[in-house]
A and B are shown apart, each in its own frame.
Chain A
């Protein structure tokens, strides 16, 4: 607590932040992922865990509030936790389902562009990914709007296999099975 006396020159304080919810651990109880935070703290900083989650502390916390306020706080907390876990599940399900498509599209006779779509479902920022593609392959790479709504990345050149490798290597959030390569032949050769 800051109640300690304050000399003129006090070194900067190092504050620990929770690895799960990024708040200082003492505020984890308000974050909605309390359970996970507690486990994280227990495995990473057992001494602080003992300080924060001991029986006496919990009781003292509870005693500070009136019974009614306690109930409301509890209800609120459980609601928040439920919301957080629901969101997580939904995201996980979405991720498992969504596909990343790598398409080779013919520009003119022997020129191709590679179109990558579906990356946004994995929480990646298209603009940054596009920049990375451009840097990696030394080609033009941009985010283009799709007529039906949504956006995709267009990389100049026939790079489908390289893009596939690059994505699996640099973005581990995208499972390899969810990436599909499609060769798009607009006109029949002839």
Chain B
């Protein structure tokens, strides 16, 4: 009840199985896009965190359709495919979900700048956490600059991802 009184709208019922799978499918697609070789010099290291964008979007709009188990499995899959120590992405995405879910009512039905500001703060935290985690795993102080560039690129790509996810959501699920 607390959420309703705070103005969180009731999520629309979705019967179409394709639409119900949309959050999981798009997050999985974001994972695959993240590891695509773009043949652009320097891009691999700075690849935006597309999966984080999808998790952020769906946790705000349809957390019911992107359950923690799906996030965990997608995260582990991404780690295994990317050659990253398994569990790292899963951990980061689950923590992101936990944080966003707590603040969800601040973002639902708000203007895009609010959403973007929230994502900026989340990305900053996530990238710092990732950097610390990798420094601990590898036992060396990793150059922080690439992490900063990656964060900036992730934040600047978010409007496009948000627009595309929002459009797909509206098309398949109706208003949302």
Chains A and B belong together in one complex? no
A residues engaging B (CB < 8 A)?
Answer: none
B residues engaging A (CB < 8 A)?
Answer: none
